[in-house]
Amino acid sequence: MTTLGVARDLAAILVPIGYVGAALAAVCAIVAAIAIIRGAGGLAGGAVGLWIVCALMSFTASFANQWLPLIAAGASLVGMLVIGGIVRAMLTAGGFESRRRAARVKPAPATTTTATLMTGSTATPTAPVAVVS
C-alpha cells in the first residue's frame, strides 16, 4: 500500500472521530454555560475540562485538512461562556440570585436563654498561677 493509500485510510477513520469530538465538545460547552448560570463553579470546571478532551478529539480531523470540527468546538465554548456570563449577570442584576439564596437559607427562630452559675464553694477566687520548672 502506498503512502497516499495509508493517508486516505487514516483520514477515513480520523475525520468522523473529529466530528464526534466537536459534537461532544459542543455539549460540554452547553453544560458549562448552564453551570455558570446556576453558579456551580465545580460543574463548570468539570465541563470545561471535559471540553478540552473533546476538542483534542476534534483536532484529529485536521489530519485530512478538515479544520471545521476544531473551529466549531472552539467557537461553541467561547459562545457558551459568553452567553452564560451575560445571563448570570442579568439574573444577578435583577435580584433573582439574592431571592433564591434567601429562600434556601432560613433563619433560626430567636430564642432567649439565661444561664445561672451555681457554685458550692464560698472561697475567694484567685488569679491563675503559672508553674515554672
pLDDT digits (tens, 9 = 90+) for 48-70: 999 999 999 999 999 888 999 99
Q: What is the CA radius of gyration of the chain?
A: 31
Q: What is the mean pLDDT of the chain?
A: 86
Check residue 109 and give its pLDDT.
Answer: 67
Check residue 121 and give its pLDDT.
Answer: 65
The C-alpha cell at 6 is 495509508
Single-letter amino acid, residue 62: S
Tell me what the mean pLDDT of segment 79-89 comes to: 95
Check residue 30 and give its pLDDT.
Answer: 97
Q: Is the pLDDT of residue 73 over 80?
A: yes
Nearest to 7, CA basis, from 71, 69, 65, 70: 65
Q: Is the pLDDT of residue 103 over 80?
A: no
Burial of 102 from C-beta contacts in 10 A (0-12 / 13-18 / 19+): exposed
Sequence-ordered list of residues with C-beta below 8 angstroms from that of 88, at least 6 positions apart, any chain? 36, 37, 39
Query: Alpha-carbon distance 37 to 89, whole Å?
Result: 8
* Residue 131 three-state SS: coil
Query: What pTM, to 2 d.p., does this model score?
Result: 0.70
Within 10 angstroms of residue 100's Cβ, the number of other Cβ atoms is: 12
